[in-house]
Structure 1
Amino acid sequence: MRHLIVKSLGILGVALTLAGIGTAPAAAATTTAANPNAPVLAKSARSFPLLTDGSDPADLRLVQLYNTKNTRDIGGYRTADGKWKIRPYQLLRSDNLSRLDADDVKTLTDKYRVKSVVDFRTPGQVKSQPDVKIPGATETYLSVLGPHAYSDGGGDGDFYNQRLNFGYSAITGYRQFLNMMAVNNGGATLYHCSSGKDRTGIATVLIMTILGMDKQTIVNDFMLSQYTHRTVKIDWISKYYYDVELNYGSLQNYINTALAISPATQARLRAKYLVSTDGKNTPYPAPTTPTQPNPTPIVPTEPEVKPAPKPQPDLAPVESGAADQVTHPKKKAAKVKVLKTKRLKTKYHYQLKAHKKWFKDAHLKHQKGKTPKSTKKWRLLKSEKVRIKHKTYTYYQIQDHSGHTAWILKSYVTKK
């Protein structure tokens, strides 16, 4: 119990620090490479060591848009061993897209081929400043601060003066984001918040850690937002690393355990976003296929699936057809074969039949229980046709307005 309390306090410390209201006095100045003459806060007063701000405005890698201040291509960053680098035109970090004009949209569509947009803002911020849509790109909403903030729409100045909810919503949101990035196909992914510095900054810290950049390179990228007329402080990222390392040993272990990003998913991310630095742009080696096939879970002979005994809660986000987190059932499992996967573009809202069983993915792994009585509105993301014991079923991947997803039999979904 004491261990759990210590971890909770550590994560809360990360939240308060990112909010600018951590253990260090609010009026204390910090030392940065941009201002070497600034007074240094005594270590005993702030109780955690400061990292070094070695950021250089020449490294901004800004995407040339007219109506955003902090849109950057993180392509080109090298791994700690210098052998690999992030592919350019694949990963864009940004502030909000509410003021894009036709030229900006054309740049993101034609030059960068953006096919996926991930918005970390709260629903209130999204409503007050909705993104300008990018043709052909899917939009995913993952509020890492929970359903709302006290000053939605008030701008970052007001927003980050209050307490950040850097807990369950952040863990599950970043987890879903990283898993989703591992299976995105074609084009670039653009992820953003309001100013492109805090929520987006931490997302970039996590990505670059998995891809193998060293800590100083990651910290420098976080601090580059100061050259785009945004406020960032070395204290914030220092406290983030300090609390994570205090409770988990390293940021990599935090990704492995707290975020529960599987080794296979991390290997897919490296294979997808890294190329060699030898001038040949050789792709990073893809993860090898296991020599023994993963066992498949028990599935029903009827369309409704029998629940597994005492199912454990599953916080991991949905991965389409992902097979790297398969559980090991005690009984011999029936074979499940995915015949076809299709992305859906629907303009309608759907509701679910009550008391029907849903699952983590179309392989019928990790049952989530039964659908509630309430008539929530859902939208369809994907469909998968699967064969189970010589019978064919169609499953829909559905998403509610808060971004929660699940798989369910097509026959259990009705048009609103």
Structure 2
Amino acid sequence: MQRSSIVKSLSIAGVVLSLAGIGGPSALAATTQQAPTAITRSTRNADDDAALKALVDQYGDINKTLIPLVGAYNARDLGGYQTADGKWQIRPKRLIRSSNLNGLTNGDKKVLSHDYHVTSIVDFRTPGQIDYEPDQPVPGATSTELSILGPHAFGDSSKHPTLSGDFSGDGSFYVQRLEFGYPAVNGYREFLNKLLTNPQATLYHCSSGKDRTGIATVLVMSILGMSEKTITDDYMQSNEVGGHVEAAWIKEYFSEIKSNYGSMTNYITTLINFTPAQQAKLRSMYLISTDGKKTAYSAPKAPAQVTQPTVVTPATPAQPAPAKPAATPATKPAVVTHQSGAADKPVKKHKVTKAKKKAKIKITSTKNLHTKYTYRLKGNKKWFKDSHLQKVFGHTPKHKKTTWKLVKEEHIKINGKKHTYFEVKDHAGHKAWIDKSYITKVK
């Protein structure tokens, strides 16, 4: 295939060695990546073939999902992936992950437009990367730019910001920039919302289609119900076309989410702010049954409002009607009488509870701190993204022993009452705001 001659890749054998922890520094310590070396039919050897076979045996064959494009070497259709219970699968030709589209040929454009019905393209790259290698337009498709790393990140300041393909990944990069980073959280939320509006195919990509695109795929497949193994296998298959990802990176990503949020579902609901109703709608749009009937997944419907009591008391004609007059005084049940006998104005039997007013929060003073990692947080206590206490992170882990550094102190008035909140930061760069009373000093 022509694609093999233009793949931007590391040596597949080198990838396998790095996955095994042999022959080089740990990727978890890496912060930059050299420009990959292309592997072509003429340069591949027996070692490369053996390394590729090892990857396929462990993580599955990428050719089952790979779209044969000349100008995008990591384009894959997620259609066919099954949920953990095996009852549902992703619709074909609806969700396509890819490397950048700068090299698309006219034939590639026809494949995406006519064969896969791509009508929406989401580009996760930074503005500098997009300017250097702009996408080739796909007929009939709109394009949306959502920089997952913010407007100016890493390689954007260099002369050639995309020569190394995607930004180098490592465990801390995934956690700090793709899990908790503000641009990533907002970008992925907008991406998921766009998926809810497109009845045709959406293609989403970054530079190499492995890091930013990889995490977008993790989020989508998690919502749709794939198992963690299925998600990890798909993530690792970027190595089969010359990308460089490691199992340790995605493992650390999952681990941090579970430590801080308990589950991927809670992380998506709480931090990404993609609601359970939206998640149910996504499943109804992108899942079909695996029984051969291709039945659409049915999103649970909200219960209908009942205007009358659901329990009807049966008539009891055998009992004689009370000997009281039909019209009883209306004042007795409608008037509340104190022990003194004085009656208040008539009130309804069931008092309507008023909506709770939003707390008034005012920051009165701020102070930067420079403390060491000598503090821990009490478990299951509410913490926040900002000191205005408007965005809740959820609750602190019950048994987490992570130590934290105090980086900022703010005195806050909540409905006129004084409180002290600290911004805390751990060794991985996570930050949150929490009440002073929930912070304990490590002796």
Instruction: Provide the TM-score with structure 2 as the length reference.
Output: 0.54
**Equivalence for 2:131:** 127
Report the residue type matching 1:255 in the other structure. I
After TM superposition, the structure 1 = structure 2 runs for residues 153-302 of structure 1, keeping only pairs within 5 Å, are 153-156=161-164, 159-160=167-168, 164=173, 165-166=177-178, 167-184=181-198, 186-292=199-305
Contact 1:156/1:194 (<8 A) preserved: no
Contact 1:92/1:189 (<8 A) preserved: yes
Q: Which structure: larger Rg?
A: 2
- Note the alpha carbon deviations across 1:89-114, whole angstroms, 9 max, x for none: 10000000011010000000000000
Q: Which of 55, 58, 81 matches 1:54?
A: 58
Deviation at 1:310, TM superposition (A): 7.4
- Do the aligned partners of residues 314 and 125 (structure 1) sit closer, same or farther apart at CA in structure 2, a change above 3 Å counting? farther
- Do the aligned partners of residues 144 and 279 (structure 1) sit closer, same or farther apart at CA in structure 2, a change above 3 Å counting? same
- Do the aligned partners of residues 157 and 287 (structure 1) sit closer, same or farther apart at CA in structure 2, a change above 3 Å counting? same
Identity of aligned residues (%): 50
After TM superposition, the structure 1 = structure 2 runs for residues 67-146 of structure 1, keeping only pairs within 5 Å, are 67-146=71-150
Report the residue type matching 1:77 in the other structure. Y
Deviation at 1:182, TM superposition (A): 1.5
Q: Partners of 1:183 and 1:287 in 2: how far apart?
A: 19
Matched pairs, number: 263
Deviation at 1:269, TM superposition (A): 0.4
DSSP 3-state at the match of 1:189: strand
Deviation at 1:131, TM superposition (A): 0.6
Q: Partners of 1:249 and 1:283 in 2: how far apart?
A: 30
Asked whether 1:147 is paired with 2:148, we answer no
After TM superposition, the structure 1 = structure 2 runs for residues 232-381 of structure 1, keeping only pairs within 5 Å, are 232-292=245-305
- Do the aligned partners of residues 96 and 58 (structure 1) sit closer, same or farther apart at CA in structure 2, a change above 3 Å counting? closer
Deviation at 1:154, TM superposition (A): 3.3
Q: Partners of 1:120 and 1:314 in 2: how far apart?
A: 27
DSSP 3-state at the match of 2:138: coil
- Do the aligned partners of residues 253 and 228 (structure 1) sit closer, same or farther apart at CA in structure 2, a change above 3 Å counting? same
**Equivalence for 2:10:** none
Q: Partners of 1:313 and 1:101 in 2: how far apart?
A: 50
Gaps of 5+ in 1: 1-20, 28-33, 39-52, 294-307, 316-416
Q: Partners of 2:259 and 2:27 in 1: how far apart?
A: 15
Report the residue type matching 1:174 in the other structure. Y
Deviation at 1:249, TM superposition (A): 1.1
Q: Partners of 1:158 and 1:262 in 2: how far apart?
A: 30
DSSP 3-state at the match of 1:156: coil
Contact 1:56/1:224 (<8 A) preserved: yes
- Do the aligned partners of residues 269 and 73 (structure 1) sit closer, same or farther apart at CA in structure 2, a change above 3 Å counting? same
DSSP 3-state at the match of 1:118: strand
Q: Partners of 1:133 and 1:69 in 2: how far apart?
A: 17
Instruction: Provide the TM-score with structure 1 as the length reference.
Output: 0.57
- Do the aligned partners of residues 288 and 160 (structure 1) sit closer, same or farther apart at CA in structure 2, a change above 3 Å counting? same
Contact 1:149/1:159 (<8 A) preserved: no
**Equivalence for 1:414:** none
Report the residue type matching 1:154 in the other structure. T
**Equivalence for 1:332:** none
Q: Partners of 1:106 and 1:23 in 2: how far apart?
A: 38
CA RMSD of aligned residues (A): 3.3
Q: Partners of 2:216 and 2:88 in 1: how far apart?
A: 20
Q: Partners of 2:201 and 2:240 in 1: how far apart?
A: 24
DSSP 3-state at the match of 2:59: coil
DSSP 3-state at the match of 2:260: helix
Contact 2:132/2:162 (<8 A) preserved: no
Contact 1:54/1:216 (<8 A) preserved: no
- Do the aligned partners of residues 99 and 23 (structure 1) sit closer, same or farther apart at CA in structure 2, a change above 3 Å counting? closer
Deviation at 1:158, TM superposition (A): 7.9
Deviation at 1:243, TM superposition (A): 1.0
Gaps of 5+ in 2: 1-24, 32-49, 307-357, 362-387, 392-443
DSSP 3-state at the match of 1:178: helix
- Do the aligned partners of residues 135 and 257 (structure 1) sit closer, same or farther apart at CA in structure 2, a change above 3 Å counting? same
Q: Partners of 1:197 and 1:98 in 2: how far apart?
A: 16
DSSP 3-state at the match of 1:271: helix
Report the residue type matching 2:184 in the other structure. A
- Note the alpha carbon deviations across 1:352-408, whole angstroms, 9 max, x for none: xxxxxxxxxxxxxxxxxxxxxxxxxxxxxxxxxxxxxxxxxxxxxxxxxxxxxxxxx
**Structure with the larger RCO, 1 or 2 (CA within 8 Å, 6+ apart):** 1
Q: Partners of 2:360 and 2:145 in 1: how far apart?
A: 31
